[in-house]
Structure 1
Amino acid sequence: MKNIRNIISGMLALLFVTTILGSCQTDDYLVDGGKSNPYYDGTIMEYLESRDDMLFSDLVKVIKMTKWYDVFSDENADVTFFAPTDFSIDKSVDMLNYYLYNWNNMEKITDLSQVKSEVWEDMIGMYVLKGKYRLNDIAQIDTVALSTFPGQTNYTYDKKYKLTMGVCYGDANGIKYAGYRQIMCANQDYGISIYAYVSSCNIEPRNGIVHVLRLDHSLGFTPYALYSKAMEAGIDYPDDTWQGGVPLTGKREDSNNMLIINKESNE
């Protein structure tokens, strides 16, 4: 599954670039560019499950382990979901496995269910807001002029996190803020703002709004978040798997891999 995702990631990235430049300029654009009806005749959960392009297959598996399955299936939910793709989950799981194997002397996970359901529930909760927020409902943000255009900050659905969201206005023909518009969101719980950009916006199932995050986003807003939360909760290994747990004094893999991980984490 992951190899197939790597093959199509370039194609999807190209499609999302098109979407970034055009999908959020009006209310009637749907995913992957192309003007279309933004409404989906079903729930948020049904929308995620309906996608056959492997953007949300792992996301759906994760959601089904948590209370968010019931929320997203509720016809009266009235929520906004900044949906991370499977690529976001892959990035964070890769970081989790790297640190498990190299720094904790523990086996890598081979199934998403080995991460406890409360960890997935907590992390998905970072992206869920009560109420429907379409592009036109969100305040302008300019990350280099936050005193003037700060966006807006809301508590997440379960009031556990603060999520800042805003609409970035591009320039056009030398006129500031006259160009395309793009939604972004930021987590405020790490001491600094970590931004995530939306590639497809204003998708509207019956019970809420979905904004799809860009492929380069890491679940939890930083690749380290899943590792930290999963280790704190404990990993569910099969009974016949040795868990280890004693930190190694050295690394099992070459330093080049660590440099790659660090570069991705910094970005």
Structure 2
Amino acid sequence: MIIYPTLEILNGKCVSLTRGRLAEPVIWHVDPVETAQQFAAAGAEWMHVTDMNGLRGDGENDALIEEIIRAARIPVQLGGGFRSRERVEHWIDRGAGRVVIGTMAAQEPDWLHQLAKRHPDQIVLAVDIYQGHVMTEGWQKYSALEPDTFIAAFDQAPLAGVIVTDIDADIEDQDGSVGVISGLAAKTRHAVIARGTIRTVDDVARLKYVYNISGTMIGRALLSKDVNLAEAIAVARPEPERVAEFQ
């Protein structure tokens, strides 16, 4: 299972949100570029960056995100308000390993199919769930789409994976979140990346045995130092199978 250390960038600062409330960010007084370098030094294979201003449709974090991509020296999965093919290709050209699409997938599914075919294994579908339905616009708008139907609509698209967030259980009810995410993971052929489920290293140990969970995103728990990244990566690695000794 791959650990995706995660940075959420709002107005040039690292933040964490509770249930997507952009008006009430927790601000972390760390340097985003240095933090990305620390993630790589700890052994991360990938990292994830969300441009919160991109979700809001304001601000300008492009220069900072480009610097993070260059400094990290590991592949970066980038999310945050992608609403045009030009914007997606802008970031792929500038070194983003993957781009995450959520709202536009719900609004224009054919557009996402075409985009995935144009950039196979570089597009990730974001599925944000609240009260059994898919949310859009950075968790701000409730849709009529049910998560399993939504994911199934893209089963034949050459996606790099699917990020699943259970907003109902974000932070407070971790066990419920794992249940929702594992249920969806069992219904798709795409590798699923869980979000919002890790508060301790023990959670990593539990999650790695869930069927079709290929990775998990960890942001707040790393920045608060509740989770040590190097330890989490070690725990997430597959354990070697025992081989019988033959005489």
**Length-normalised TM-score, structure 1:** 0.28
Q: Look at both structures and tell me which one has the larger radius of gyration over its CA atoms.
A: 1
Structure having the higher strand fraction is 2
**Length-normalised TM-score, structure 2:** 0.29
Q: 1 or 2 for the larger relative contact order (CA 8 Å, sep ≥6)?
A: 1
